[in-house]
Amino acid sequence: MEHVCLDLEGVLIPEIWAEVAEYTGEDQFKLTTQDLKDYSQLMDMRIDLVNSIGLSFSEIRSLVDKMEPFDGAREFIDWVRDNFQLTIVSDSFYELSWPLIRKLGTPAINCHYLNVQDNKLKGYELRQLENKKKVVQALKAMKFKVFASGDSYNDIQMLQEADLGVFFQAPMHIKEEFSDIGFVESHTELKDLLIKNSSFVGRI
């Protein structure tokens, strides 16, 4: 059996914090894991900025509620689920991502937790260190062949650990830095790649 692991933001949905940047006018919120390699540094910056401008969690959540997946993402997810096991493996948070996960048909997702108290963002709890890599390792230990795709620095370990890992619309500086990792630019290209490398598609 074959298993597909997909990043969420940048692959299936727009960047959530980019929406926060548009809402607040704070350009620092536009920084993502395509810009910073240290995820903890990125999240600490976001939380400090949220609290410094007095942004409530309900305001952030209302922005997420209005967001939509990328065109074709739901159809792509439906196809993947028809032919593979699927897990979304994200450094997002259940409390933020769930409205968009519902719009994607509620696929399984493995991500982190936010600490929200009195409508204020206080912090976060990682599921585990190197979570994306360890998810792939666990699936491989269960004898799955694993395909993976993501767009950022925090996806590198997952892509390298998978039997086949490719970037999805990653920026040029990341593709050049990790030139040994292949890439695709659309869900159609990713679908074609999965079909080409799968021994399972069409056998159900």
Active site residues: 7, 9
CB–CB of 60/17 below 8 Å? no
Query: What is the side-by-side strand order in the sheet with 109-117?
Result: 120-125, 109-117, 85-93, 2-6, 145-150, 164-168, 182-184
| Selection from 115, 77, 108, 113 nearest residue 94 by Cα | 113
Q: What would the two tokens of residue 138 be?
A: 């666990």
Q: In the chain, where does DSSP find H-type helix? A: 16-24, 39-52, 57-66, 73-83, 94-103, 131-141, 156-161, 172-177, 187-197
- Helix, strand, or coil here: 88? strand
Sign, CA dihedral 127-131-137-139, equals positive
Query: At what angle are helices 73-83 and 187-197 packed, to 10 degrees?
Result: 10
